[in-house]
Amino acid sequence: MKDGGVVVWVVGDSVIKGNKSLTSFRQALYFQEIGFNMYDVIIYEKAGTAPPHKNRYFNAFEYMFVLSKGLPKTINLIEDKPNNWANHTTFGNVTRREQDGTLTPKGKKVIKPFGIRTNIWRYNNGKGFATKDKIAYEHPAIFPEKLVEDHIISWSNEGDIVLDPFCGSGTVAKVATELNRRWVGIEISKEYCRIANERLGLECTEQ
């Protein structure tokens, strides 16, 4: 990966004999050991419902580790968190702290309708919510298109290349195309390649 490149690693934990695997943590620490920078840890909160467990709280999230080589070259933070005092003028003067510690008055400001979102991202992930493409649900574990869209916007610009080495039903490829990014998808299962190709309207060439 080039300097400034970003990896988004989405991972949850399994439970083995009542013991959380913590595979997520192990992988995160390993990424740091081999030289990646852990730029952010974002929670993918799943809004979809599922039958409750008997003995533990229902797990409603996965981690999304945002790893970079050096610092990310592209950072387009999404501003969609409604501000409480949107369109009001600040009560007092806004000040800027200078390097020598003094404060420079910057006058009053109008509060923008939306601010930068937090690092907990919530998506509807159930059947019918993740995508409108029926064919995609032939894959058992698809990402919501919106989740993919938010990451591609955040960490790349038009014309950049997005690689998905575990591309499943082709969600990343689909959204990358819509957002004018180039893409490369890799998938080990021929059946899932068929699903992705059909979803993307591509010819499937057997190797």
Instruction: Answer whether 172's CB lies under 8 Å from 200's CB.
Output: no
Q: How far is the CB of 162 from ligand SAM (least distance, A)?
A: 12
In the bound complex, which residue of the shown chain has the CB atom lying closest to ligand SAM? 168
24/169 with CB nearer ligand SAM: 169
Instruction: Answer whether 112's CB lies under 8 Å from 83's CB.
Output: yes
Distance CA 174, CA 165 (A): 14
40/138 with CB nearer ligand SAM: 138
Full DSSP string of 134-197? GGGGGSSSPPPHHHHHHHHHHH--TT-EEEETT-TTTHHHHHHHHTT-EEEE--S-HHHHHHHH
36/139 with CB nearer ligand SAM: 139
Q: How far is the CB of 80 from ligand SAM (least distance, A)?
A: 22
75/135 with CB nearer ligand SAM: 135
Q: How far is the CB of 164 from ligand SAM (least distance, A)?
A: 7
Q: What is the C-alpha end-to-end distance of the chain, expressed in Å?
A: 27
The footprint of ligand SAM (CB under 6 A) covers 139, 141-143, 165-166, 168-169, 171, 186-189, 192
Q: How far is the CB of 169 from ligand SAM (least distance, A)?
A: 3
Q: How far is the CB of 89 from ligand SAM (least distance, A)?
A: 44
31/137 with CB nearer ligand SAM: 137
Pairing of strands 182-185, 161-164: parallel
Instruction: Answer whether 193's CB lies under 8 Å from 187's CB.
Output: yes
Distance CA 80, CA 117 (A): 6
